[in-house]
Structure 1
Amino acid sequence: MSKKKPLSHGQLRRMRANHEKRLSRGKLDNQAPELQDSSLGQEEPAVVISRFGQHADVEISSGEIIRCNIRRTIQSLVTGDKVIIRQALEDGSAIGGVVEAVHPRTSSLTRPDLYDGVKIIAANIDQILIVSSVVPAFTTQIIDRYLVASEDTGISPVIILNKIDLMNDEDRADIEAALGRYRSLGYPVYEVSSKSKAGIDTVKALLNDKISVFVGQSGVGKSSMINALLPDAELLTGEVSEGSGLGQHTTTTARLLHLPSGGDLIDSPGVREFALWHLPPDRVSWCFTEFRDYLGTCKFRDCKHLDDPGCSLREALEAGKIHQDRFNNYHRIIASLDEQRHARHFRHNEE
């Protein structure tokens, strides 16, 4: 048997830090007041507004928000979950009840995590609003990654271009052409400005009677747009650095917000881009909707859809039925799968 390689000082520091975090979480959990069954009322429905470790803020039918303990038997609980709770019969405690059970989800928004595998961000969502913007630089690569994630989860995507007040004539033609391609594929596309409020009323109507979530790179104006839709949300907004053109993460905990014009909005932590390493290549192919008619018709079963002879996707590209930009973005995603899996394997081995 080969001798184990000694751990580096950096690895030892990370192991000790992770161990201390686990101990701290355990202490906090032990400090949480335990509510006995005899001190709890009848079961009633509620919805999870936000999740904090072993506690959740839930909203009951009266509109009151109650902080609850979570039963240890509940394996997963996220913002948007519909639950059954029992309230504490006596007032005076910071903990007002217990989440007893979770209803089956109609949908769940997930993203892969380097440590936890596939992580659920929010549940019972009707539509994903993919926010892009003129600044930072408009890119279809990120939009296509979110579209793949949307198609994979089965949640309807809507593309929103923000900051149209900053669009110049030089960029306008390319951006409008890209948005036109998405419209031709059947994806709803809207152009807005959270600063000038242009198009905001259209987005309000779009959100009515639905549970929606905004996703997009940092700096595209998700929080600013939410503030325009719901001024009382008092979300922090981050200015895009003029020097680097990069944004800053502005939100930290997913929470459900009620819109005065109707509908609910789940504000989730900023994500620079959705990693997709958990998806097999054939699933990514299927998530490009215009590819579906050609999948399984290539000459060779293991076709990589590059320069392979008899490739149906390549033939469709050359015939103008698939656009070059989407074809390129597809291959960028496929190329990134192994890199992301390798990064995850490396990080686990470091620990």
Structure 2
Amino acid sequence: MSKKKPLSQGQRRRMRANHEKRLQRQEAGTSTAELQDSSLGPEQLGTVISRFGQHADIETESGEQVRCNIRRNIQSLVTGDKVIVRQAIETTATIAGVVEAVHPRHSSLSRPDMYDGIKIIAANIDQILIVSSVVPSFTTQIIDRYLVAAEDTGISPIIILNKVDLLSEEEAPVVEAALARYEAIGYQVFKVSSISGEGVDAIQALLNDKVSVFVGQSGVGKSSLINALMPDAELLTGDVSENSGLGQHTTTTAKLLHFPSGGDLVDSPGVREFALWHLPPERVGWCFVEFRDYIGTCKFRDCKHKQDPGCAITEAYADGKIFEDRYNNYHKIIDSLDEQRHARHFRSDTD
């Protein structure tokens, strides 16, 4: 008897997805049967605290949190969404309401997924706090990737260097110079330590009356920093792997947390690298804020901003108007776009 050909990663993924959909349909059918329109109260405003499959935890205007079904006509619902919800008049089960509609978003944070295209992580964000750290390593290339993603969404980015208590005397001048370059092009930069408490008060002030999200590679201390800002959050934290130097993924579900000052924080799942393959090169260039004065002024419309004659961006770089690491990081991102698109196309073909 011949052995069965093992399932590909894509086939296994689709099988799991179909199984989950069947379970969700069964669960939704049971829950909605218990919550008919006649058993629901009046419409009221709410905010999505977290999303779990076909259910969402909603906070009402009174501050009460209820787990709700989601109407099938709602195509997208993520943490931070403003919604219209109806609570059950009498709660006899874990499902205590229904999300009827979603208000328009003033912003959304999304990232590309190798299999599922663009995925929205959270909605109605006011600012993105890009967390880097001394450990696993400080790199402007990763910061610039997150800055491109932030600029593309139109959400204000703020750069935070965490774990400054681990900064050595040898590393300090290089890191300080890199951070000064970001300040020179208009970005806010903060240095903190969730261990010593340095800079934590300044970050807390940034969060007041804002909806914020922390982004950054695993291991940079996002969850530890949130715990320092909000001790009652009790978020999981993970140590940096001694073998690889990479952090371990600890956060699994995006959720909305409240600060006593009135600000909100969306704690989103960490990602090692924020892929940008969905952006065309010209959009990436626009997301480098210091390039904007020169975009569209090159001699040739298809200018690659390298050795092309009459390139306004290359001339600005040569004149010292664009920093070397920013110029180099731009080209590294552009060079990576085709590689990432090819990898996605290859996976789709082999699934």
Per the normalisation by structure 1, the TM-score is 0.95
Query: 1:20 deviation in Å?
Result: 4.3
Using the TM superposition, give the Cα deviation of residue 249 of structure 1 relative to its aligned residue in structure 2, in angstroms: 0.6
Give the aligned residue type for 1:346.
Answer: F
After TM superposition, the structure 1 stretch with the greater mean CA deviation from structure 2, 194-203 or 233-242, is 233-242
Residue aligned with 1:9, SS: coil
Q: CA deviation at 1:61?
A: 1.2
How many Å separate the matches in 1 of 2:49 and 2:346? 35
How large is the RMSD of aligned CA atoms in angstroms?
A: 1.3
Aligned to 1:5: none
Structure 1 residue 18: Cα displacement: 2.3
For 1:24 and 1:290, the matched residues in 2 are separated by: 46
| SS of equivalent residue, structure 1 residue 84 | strand
Task: Name 2:142's counterpart in structure 1.
Answer: 142
Cα distance in structure 2, aligned partners of 1:293 and 1:21:
46
Q: Distance in 2 between matches of 1:28 and 1:325?
A: 48
**Structure 2 length normalisation: TM-score?**
0.95
Taking the aligned partners of 2:273 and 2:162, their CA distance within structure 1 comes to 17
In structure 2, the partner of 1:217 is 217
Q: Does 1:78 align with 2:107?
A: no
Q: 1:131–1:20: structure 2 CA closer, same or farther, 3 Å change rule?
A: closer
Q: CA deviation at 1:16?
A: 4.8
Q: What amino acid sits opposite 1:26 in the alignment?
A: R
Q: 1:14 to 1:107 in 2, by over 3 A?
A: closer
Q: Would the aligned equivalents of 1:256 and 1:265 in 2 still touch at CA under 8 Å? A: yes
Deviations 1:105-152 (A, max 9, x none): 010001001122111000000000000001111000110011001111
Structure 2 distance, partners of 1:317, 1:41, is 62
**Structure-1 residue corresponding to 2:267:** 267
2:275 is paired with a residue of what secondary structure? coil
CA distance in 1, matches of 2:59, 2:212: 17
1:233 is aligned to 2:219: no
Q: Deviations over 1:150-208 (max 9, x none)?
A: 11100000000000000001111110000000000110000000001111011001100
Q: Which runs of 5+ in 2 are unaligned?
A: none
- 1:158 alignment counterpart: 158
Q: How many pairs does the alignment contain?
A: 344
Corresponding letter in the other structure for 1:58:
I
Q: Which residue in 2 is equivalent to 1:28?
A: 24
User: Which residue identity lines up with residue 285 of structure 2 in the other structure?
Assistant: S
Are 2:209 and 2:261, in contact at CA under 8 Å, matched by a contact in 1? no
What is the alpha-carbon distance in structure 2 between the residues aligned to residue 262 and residue 165 of structure 1? 29
CA distance in 1, matches of 2:201, 2:327: 34
Letter in 2 for 1:15: Q
* Superposition deviation, residue 245 in structure 1: 1.6
1:174 — aligned with what? 174
Q: Which amino acid aligns with 1:160?
A: I
For 1:175 and 1:284, how far apart are their aligned partners in 2? 24
Paired with 1:317 and 1:288, the residues of 2 have a C-alpha distance of 13
Shift of 1:36: 1.3
- Cα distance in 2 for partners of 1:13, 1:266 equals 31
Q: CA deviation at 1:12?
A: 4.8
Q: Relative to structure 2, which stretch is displaced further, 254-263 or 101-110?
A: 254-263
Q: Residue type matched to 2:281 in 1?
A: P
Report the residue type matching 1:274 in the other structure: F
SS of the residue corresponding to residue 46 of structure 1 reads strand
Q: Distance in 2 between matches of 1:187 and 1:103?
A: 31
- The residue identity in structure 2 corresponding to 1:189 is V
User: Is the 2:24–2:53 contact (alpha carbons within 8 Å) kept by the matching residues of 1?
Assistant: no
Is the contact made by 1:68 and 1:95 (CA closer than 8 Å) also made in structure 2?
yes
Q: Is residue 11–residue 350 contact of structure 1 (8 Å, CA) maintained in 2?
A: no
* Residue 107 of structure 2 corresponds to residue 107 of structure 1: yes
The equivalent of 2:258 in structure 1 is 258
Q: Take 2:271 and 2:339, find their aligned partners in 1: how far apart are those partners?
A: 18
The answer to which of 16-25 and 230-239 deviates more is 16-25
CA distance in 2, matches of 1:54, 1:20: 16
Deviation at 1:243, TM superposition (A): 3.2
- What are the superposed Cα offsets for residues 19-70 of structure 1, whole Å, 9 maximum, x if unpaired? 2441233123312311211111110000000000000000001111100000
Question: Is the aligned partner of 1:345 residue 2:341?
Answer: no
User: 1 CA distance for matches of 2:9 and 2:140?
Assistant: 39
Aligned residue identity for 2:124: N
Distance in 2, matches of 1:175 and 1:299, equals 36
Distance, in Å, in 2 between the alignment partners of 1:135 and 1:187 is 22
Alignment-derived partner of residue 192 in structure 2 = 192
Query: In structure 1, how many angstroms separate the alpha carbons of the residues matched to 2:244 and 2:115?
Result: 29
Q: Secondary structure at the match of 1:179?
A: helix
Following superposition, the deviation at residue 244 of structure 1 comes to 2.4
Which residue is equivalent to 2:311?
311
SS in 1 for 2:273: coil
> C-alpha distance in 2, partners of 1:165/1:300?
48
Task: Give the CA deviation at 1:17.
Answer: 5.3
What is aligned with 1:3? none
Q: Percent identity?
A: 70
